[in-house]
Each structure stands twice: as structure tokens, then as C-alpha cells.
Amino acid sequence: MIAVLPGDGIGPEVAREATQVLDLLGLPWEEHVFGAAAIRATGAPLPDETLEACRLAEAVLKAPVGDPEFDAAEIRPEQGMLRLRSELAVFANLRPAKDGEIDVLIVRELIGGLYYGARGVRDDGTVFDTCEYHPSQVERVARRAFELARDRRGHLTSVDKANVLDTSRLWRRVVNELAADYPGVEVEHMLVDNAAMQLHSHPTRFDVIVTENMFGDILSDLAAAVTGGLGLAPSASLGERPPGLFEPVHGSAPDIAGRGIANPTAMLLSTALMLEHGLGRPEDARRLREAVALGLEEAPTPDLGGTATTAGLGAAVRSHLT
């Protein structure tokens, strides 16, 4: 069973296109409430039943969450998402960005760093978030990145801020220690500010990028921007064992929600990543990617300069799957 989390904003709109593809492929799925919708229904963004269903699922296919109504609230949709990632222990977040000659794979550490470190308020009113990494957290994600680089073009860029941060110096040391185990992979280290500039100006110089949680969040939106935009950017979050979590890089896009014009491509390509990495169906994944490419030529959505609706592009994709 595939657990589908339709999420908020454009989430349900793009999730509908993905579940129609699952139906076409004869794959069973079940929807569970999550995010702002779940806060409204149950008071919690990740209800126990949803978490349990995700744990038992073969894979989790998640649409974006987030709602301006809760931006300043005590209980927020995004908290459910951070908890889900950590409960499923999906430490390696693969964010591929491809367009023409550009073929970058960002491997973002997903369940450590600033997002999960100690936080609080001091007596004087100072608010703090801390960036923390244990060497084992760096090692497991770096190993995954080395393995992926070995199976691609053999080049790994480790991105950090080692000129300032102790966690970055730890990151660099662990990556250097692992390099001996992967003689076929050439490693370079790059500071994150320069990495942002290079991703913009020379994106073809990158193969695999491995980096900590917050840097990976920011660089992956940038990588999406240089390869056609957020509407096209999928991701796969993997741990040591299933279920993996598959979701677009983009958010719930409140500015266009409810208008039926969201680009479902990121969600459909996340579905392809799920077929490949989560369900062991590489042939279905290949067919879906091909159908998406053909669909995009015929029916591009407004973010790509076209006029197709979400449903229109979804239907074009499905027409190439049958």
C-alpha cells in the first residue's frame, strides 16, 4: 500500500494527478490527512493514524503542506513534516535537477542540523536555534552520496561553511575520511556561498552535491530555478530501509492555490522516484518520466509559459502512459 498525503494549497490539486497515474499502473494507495488540513480536523499536523499508516506503507507519496493561516501559530503544518521525516529516519534527501547539459543531484542531509538542534528562549529574550551534527549523521548521508556519485559521473562536491562553522569542519573531516573507501570518486569541498554562485553561473560543473540540511534546502530551490523552475523539481527521501518519502521540492504555493493552474510535474516526477527507489519498478519509472516529458511538450502550465491547467497536463501525461 502507498500512503498518499495530499497536503495543503496546491497539494491536493497535484496529488490528484499522481493518484490517477497510480490507478493507471494498478498500484493501491490510500489517502491520509496531514498538514494544515489535519490541524483543522484533529488539532495535530501529523495525527497518530497518519503516522502509523506511513510506517506500515511500502512508500509515502507526499504533496506539499503549509498554510498562511498557521504561519504564526503555535502548531504549524511544517512541524508535522519535520516529525514525519525524522520518524521515518529518511536522512538522505535526493533532489535531482536536470535540464539540457545540466545534471546535478543534490543530496541533502534531512534530519539533523539547525532544523533539529536545541532551541529556545533565554531569560533576556534572546531566541536561539542551534546547528548540531554527530559524526555518524554525517557519515551515513556522505556514504549515500559517494555511492550515488560512483554510479554517476564520479564527482562529488561537499558543500559547507568550514571557514566559520565547527559543524562544517566536522563535515569536511568525515567526508575526507570516507573518500579512501571510494577511489573512483573525485571529491572537492566548496563553501556554500561560492556553491550558490557556481550553481547559478556554472551549473554543468556539478555532478553530486552533498550538504547539510539548511544549505541543501536553499541550494535545491536554486538548482530548481536554473533547470526550469520549482514546478519541475522532485525529491526522494531515503533511510536505511523502506518506506521512503517522496515529495516535490516546492511548497503549497498559496498564491496560486485553488485556481487549477499548478504544475503537477514535480509531483509526477516524485512519483517516478518512488517507483524507482521506493517500489523497485525502474521500468514504470522510466515510462512515467518519458510520458511527463511528452506531456510537457504538448501542455505546458503557466509557470512554463504555457496555458494548460493542472488537469490538462495530467491528462496529457496519462495519454502517453497507456
Phi, psi of 250 (to 5 degrees): -75, 170
For residue 164, the minimal CB distance to ligand NAD (Å) is 26
Considering 67, 115, 133, 182, which one is annotated as catalytic? 115
Judged by beta carbon distances under 5 to 8 A according to partner kind, the member of Mn ion, ligand NAD, ligand IPM, none in contact with residue 95 is none
**Closest residue by Cα to residue 102 from 278, 244, 237, 232:** 232
Q: Is 182 labeled as catalytic in the residue annotation?
A: no
Residues of the shown chain interacting with ligand NAD in the complex, contacts defined by CB under 6 A? 10, 64-66, 78, 81, 230-231, 247, 250-256, 262-263, 266, 303
Binding residue for Mn ion, selected from 17, 109, 207, 217, defined by CB under 5 A: 217
Judged by beta carbon distances under 5 to 8 A according to partner kind, the member of ligand NAD, ligand IPM, Mn ion, none in contact with residue 230 is ligand NAD
* 8 touches ligand IPM (CB under 6 A): no
Q: Is 161 labeled as catalytic in the residue annotation?
A: yes
For residue 38, the minimal CB distance to Mn ion (Å) is 20
Of 211-250, binders to ligand IPM (CB under 6 A) are 217, 249
Binding residue for ligand IPM, selected from 33, 81, 107, 316, defined by CB under 6 A: 81
Judged by beta carbon distances under 5 to 8 A according to partner kind, the member of Mn ion, ligand IPM, ligand NAD, none in contact with residue 19 is none
For residue 316, the minimal CB distance to ligand NAD (Å) is 15
Judged by beta carbon distances under 5 to 8 A according to partner kind, the member of Mn ion, ligand IPM, ligand NAD, none in contact with residue 12 is none
Sign of the Cα torsion 210, 286, 85, 70 reads: positive
Q: Is 217 labeled as catalytic in the residue annotation?
A: yes
For 6-40, the DSSP string reads --STTHHHHHHHHHHHHHHTT--EEE---THHHHH
Please report, for residues 143, 150, 153, 175, 312, the alpha-carbon distance to residue 185 in angstroms, rounded to integers and kept in the order given.
11, 6, 8, 12, 43
Type and span of the H or E element at 132: none
- Are 95 and 233 in contact by the 8 Å Cβ rule? The answer is yes
HSE-up of 72 (CA within 13 Å, CB side)? 0
Judged by beta carbon distances under 5 to 8 A according to partner kind, the member of ligand NAD, ligand IPM, Mn ion, none in contact with residue 295 is none
Considering 161, 207, 284, 303, which one is annotated as catalytic? 161
* 13 touches ligand IPM (CB under 6 A): no
Which residue number, 9 or 312, has a Cβ lying nearer to ligand IPM? 9
Report angle CA 222, 283, 206 to the nearest 5 degrees.
Answer: 25
Which residue number, 88 or 178, has a Cβ lying nearer to ligand NAD? 88
Long-range contacts of 114-119 (CB under 8 A, 24+ apart): 114/213, 114/214, 115/82, 115/213, 115/214, 116/82, 116/86, 116/213
- Are 5 and 257 in contact by the 8 Å Cβ rule? The answer is no
Taking the C-alpha atoms of residue 11 and residue 38, their distance in angstroms, rounded to an integer, is 13
Torsion from C-alpha of 305, 310, 315, 321, nearest 10 degrees = 80
Which residue number, 98 or 320, has a Cβ lying nearer to ligand IPM? 98
- Indicate which residues carry an active-site annotation: 115, 161, 193, 217, 221
Residues that bind ligand IPM (CB under 6 A): 66, 78, 81, 217, 249, 251
